[in-house]
Amino acid sequence: MVKTFEGYRRANGRVGVRNHVAVVPTSVAASSVARGVADEAGAWAKATPHQMGTTQPDATREQTARVLAGIGRNPNVGAALVVELGTEDIDAESLADRIAETGKAVETLSIRETGGTRAALARGREIVAGLNDEAREARREGADASELIFAAECGGSDATSGIAANPAVGNACDRLVADGGTASFSETPEFIGAEHILAERCADDDVRERLLERVADREGMADMMGVDLRGAQPTPGNQEGGLTTIEEKSLGAIAKGGTTPIEGFAEFAEELPVGGGLVPMDTPGYDVESVVGKVAAGAQVVAFTTGRGSTTGNPIAPVIKVTGNPKTWDRMANNMDVNASTVIDGESIESVGERVYETLLAVAGGERTEAERRGLEEFAVNEVQPQELRGASAGAGAGR
Amino acid sequence: MKGVVLDDVALLMAESDTVATAIDDLDDGRRIAGEGRDLSLSEDVPFGHKIALVAHDPGDEVRKYGEVIGRATDPIAPGEWVHTHNCESTRGRGDLAAAGEEVAE
């Protein structure tokens, strides 16, 4: 029997697991006001402050706008306020329109037009209070697991990640896919050395070619710059945890996606399909940006594996922390949700995977994660880099 | 857990692997016997780090998960710790490309 949970069904049919009012700044210049409005409003308001400037090259701006629109469109968001200084290339009104396509209430606020920071904070508070009144009309109702988009992420990896936590999360992905849902994992640099395994699992040649092309692009960036990945991948922390090469890290990292066929390969923050099976995404290895990319694509819940003890959360999607390292479980229990280190003592991957899946459903139904309890809400927009822009102009880059 | 545990302290992910992963902090001299293997550690190997199960010559493939994770840069005897001091990646090596060397596939 397919598993169920209670969620917020939105006007477009998608189901949210939270009912936030998102406060989305279009640039760094509006980020302080967005944060100020959300902080004063209460825990139901979630700001997504970021570092992107008011003017960006085309490919960079398009990606930023796609991320911000995706955050507002995520079904965990019941209503949204878009905040601008008023000089940004990204137009607040068109961003609000992209969010409003989902049928939710959206407002905009211009700091310049309202009369500066103080007036904007006051006006912002009024607006989000009104939006919250509208969002509160939503009630949790029955939904199928097949309506979930589950994102798998890893950060602060060590040797236990590939042995315990990643295969356990992968098993939970397999269970969700079997129940008709969507799972996604990403961090393309961490496919290097394991791409032949992923390629064999691709559902068709088109997906296979795009995946291999993007892995080659990421590896090619190291070639282009005349440097090698060894200082950065695996990171010094990964190395201390026992990971020697990027191949070893990648072979462990891909386990978090499970074992089902790869049905597609999404661009960064490209909307993920409901009921789509396993669909990885092209993202950088930086975990905060990689999580944001998948949440902007519609993922409602994230599982984040960590051996060494990452504390990363997200403002819009609950982040379930899974560790395979017994010391991290002991020392950082207030940041960890699932103990996968039991694998080392003999618990089967299937058994831990079932616990991860049950946690996913409980969190989808409203149970708070440790990151939510601690108010950990990291947010960053991935900036398309100059070397990627050059690649894009040659028709082979990651930007679009 | 996937793989086979050797003598309660080392995890062999696949039969063709040339290294096993320590699942405890292991001391120099620790004997690891069983599953048709018998070796002694020639140095301390911390939790999560790798132990050579077979002799490697420089350039030999190092295998874990049944896959190649890199190549030996020095001779490695069974029972030695395998890490960045004696094993290197063959991927993402822009330094080699810049030096005009062929990057191994």
A344: chain B residues, CB-CB within 8 Å: 1, 11, 23
B103 pLDDT higher than 80: no
pLDDT at B32 over 60: yes
Chain B residues in contact with A233 (beta carbon < 8 A): 92
pLDDT at A221: 78
Residue A144: count of CB within 10 angstroms of its CB: 16
Interface subset of B 34-63, CB within 8 angstroms of A: 46-50, 62
Rounded Cα distance between A175 and A171, Å, is: 6
Kindly report the CATH number assigned to the domain that includes residue B66. Answer: 2.30.130.110
Which residue do the tokens 């970021």 mark? A50
**What is the CATH classification number for the domain harbouring A62?**
3.40.50
Specify whether A127 is located in the same domain as A51.
yes
Does residue B10 sit within a domain?
yes
Question: What's the pLDDT score for residue A299?
Answer: 98
A209 and A74 housed in the same domain: no
Find the domain containing B22 and state its range. 4-98
Q: Which of A175, A183, A185, A181 is nearest to A145 (CA)?
A: A181
Residue A26 included in any domain: yes
For residues A357 and A228, state if they share a domain. yes
Q: How crowded is residue B43: how many other Cβ atoms within 10 Å of its Cβ?
A: 12
Is the Cβ of A164 closer than 8 Å to some Cβ of chain B?
yes
Task: Give mean pLDDT, residues B44-65.
Answer: 97
Q: What is the pLDDT of residue A225?
A: 65
Domain boundary pick from A108, A137, A166: A137
* Residue A188 shares a structural domain with residue A322: yes
Picking from B89, B90, B105 by the largest number of A CB atoms within 10 A of its own CB, the best residue to mutate is B89
Neighbouring-strand partners of residue B4: B12
Whether residues A356 and A305 fall in one domain: yes
Same-domain check for residues A96 and A180? no
CA A321 to chain B, closest CA, distance in angstroms equals 20
Residues A156 and A133 in one domain: no
Confidence of residue B35 (pLDDT cuts 50, 70, 90): confident
A87-110 CB burial, b ≥16 within 10 A, e <16:
ebbbebeebbebbbebebbbbbbb
A349 contact residues in B (CB cutoff 8 A): 1-2
How many domains, chain A? Answer: 2
CA distance A33 to chain B (A): 42
Report how far residue A299's alpha carbon sits from residue A272's, in angstroms, rounded to the nearest whole number: 8
pTM beyond 0.90: yes
pLDDT at A399: 35
Which chain A residues contact residue B47 at CB under 8 A? 159, 242
Task: Establish if B55 belongs to a structural domain.
Answer: yes
Q: Containing domain of residue A355, as a range?
A: 144-373
Whether residue A162 sits in one domain with residue A124: no
- Domain tally, chain B: 1
Q: Give the pLDDT score at A394.
A: 41
Query: Taking CB atoms and an 8 Å limit, are B94 and A245 in contact across chains?
Result: no
CA dist., res. B38 & res. A393, Å (int): 57
Q: What is the pLDDT of residue A391?
A: 53
- Residue A148 shares a structural domain with residue A117: no
CB atoms within 10 A of CB A206: 11
My answer on whether A187 and A329 are in the same domain is yes
Q: And the tokens for B60?
A: 């030999």
Do residue A207 and residue A355 come from a single domain? yes
Q: Is residue B61 part of a domain?
A: yes
Q: What pLDDT does residue A385 have?
A: 77
- Report whether pLDDT(B1) > 70: no
Regarding whether A264 and A132 lie in a shared domain, the answer is no
Which candidate in A169, A191, A228 is best for mutational testing of the B interface (most B CBs within 10 A)?
A228
Specify the pairing of strand B67-72 against strand B87-88.
antiparallel
In a domain, A1, yes or no: no
3-state SS assignment for residue B44: coil
Among the partner residues B48, B93, B94, nearest to A158 by beta-carbon distance: B48
B98: which chain A residues are within 8 Å (Cβ-Cβ)?
223, 226-227
Whether A380 is covered by a domain: the verdict is no
Is B12 within a domain?
A: yes
* pLDDT number for residue A396: 37
CB atoms within 10 A of CB A348: 14
Q: Are the Cβ atoms of B65 and A227 closer than 8 angstroms?
A: no
Question: Can you list the residues of chain A whose pLDDT is less than 70?
Answer: 222-228, 230-231, 386-400
Taking an 8 Å cut-off on Cβ atoms, the answer to whether A192 and B91 are in contact is yes
Question: Would you say residue A303 lies in a domain?
Answer: yes
In a domain, A327, yes or no: yes
pLDDT band at B2 (very low <50, low <70, confident <90, very high): confident
